[in-house]
Amino acid sequence: MSFPTRSDAPVIAIDAVTVRYRVPRDPALTLKEYAIRRLTRRVSFREIDALDSVSVTVGEGEALAVIGPNGAGKTTLLRLVARVLTPTSGRVRVRGRVAPILDLVGGFHPELTGRENVYLNGTLLGLTRREIDSRLTGIVAFAELDGFIDAPVRMYSSGMVARLGFAIASDVDPDVLVIDEALGVGDERFQVKCAERLDRFRERGVTLVLVSHDMHSVRRLCTRALWIDRGHTQALGATGDVVDAYLAAQRTRR
């Protein structure tokens, strides 16, 4: 399926971005030992570049896949786009409303009901109570939780929680949709529903940034791909070309 870019002006512009973390050289310290060493200035750190001078632009209605091995810096890049992380250097510009689907399970309070968690997560995504009221029935129906929405989330299976998380995060009106490994939600039938919802977003001109190890989904949904490894850009271009190069490099590495 082909979706044309709607505008030449970039919706996302990442310009020479570096994200650097300081990590203690002795991670096995207890909290007490760390506090003592910190107070006496005996804690030494090493610096790790999760991203190193990465640049990419994404246009309106475009779908960009970010691929690479574990620890490559993919999630760090998504957090920059989602505005939950600031770069150490460089510049990130994102135009419009961003809906991040970064952690479908971790954002729920286990003692609250599914309904209460819908309101909690919807508020965090910037929706008003009136907006959540109008969307609640559709969210519950999409997640297929009609008989469980008033039960505590601690009683849900991980699949039920993930379905509810995807239903909430994707039931907004974003300009940019950011997804981190969330396409494997539920069984195969529910995954088809998720893919169809993403297609409707694309048809409306929503910009998509997707991190996934599922190369079939990457090829189907995305027009371009960015391959990063150890924080460095390895390739940026047409999805098929970049995916083929990445898989060939993985086979060589193995």
CATH number, residue 153: 3.40.50.300
Q: Which residue type does 136 have?
A: L
Residue 104: alpha-carbon gap to chain centroid: 10
Q: Give the per-residue pLDDT at 26.
A: 66
Q: What share of the chain in percent tops pLDDT 70?
A: 85
Residue 136: exposure state from Cβ atoms within 10 A (0-12, 13-18, ≥19): middle
pLDDT for position 169: 81
Query: What are the pLDDT digits (tens) for 123-148?
Result: 888 889 999 999 999 999 999 999 99
Is residue 44 assigned to a domain?
A: no
In this prediction, what percent of the chain has a pLDDT beyond 90?
Answer: 51
The answer to whether residue 179 sits within a structural domain is yes
Would 40 be classed as within a structural domain? no
d(CA 86, CA 101): 18
Instruction: Give strand pairing partners of 92.
Output: 14
Q: How confident is the model at residue 7 (pLDDT cuts 50, 70, 90)?
A: low
91-107 mean pLDDT: 81
Say how many domains are in the chain. Answer: 1
- Asked, for residue 123, whether it belongs to a domain, the answer is yes
Q: Let me know if residue 25 belongs to a domain.
A: no
- Domain membership of residue 204 (yes or no) is yes
Residue 201: both structure tokens together: 């977003």
Q: Find the domain containing 126 and state its range.
A: 62-85+96-253
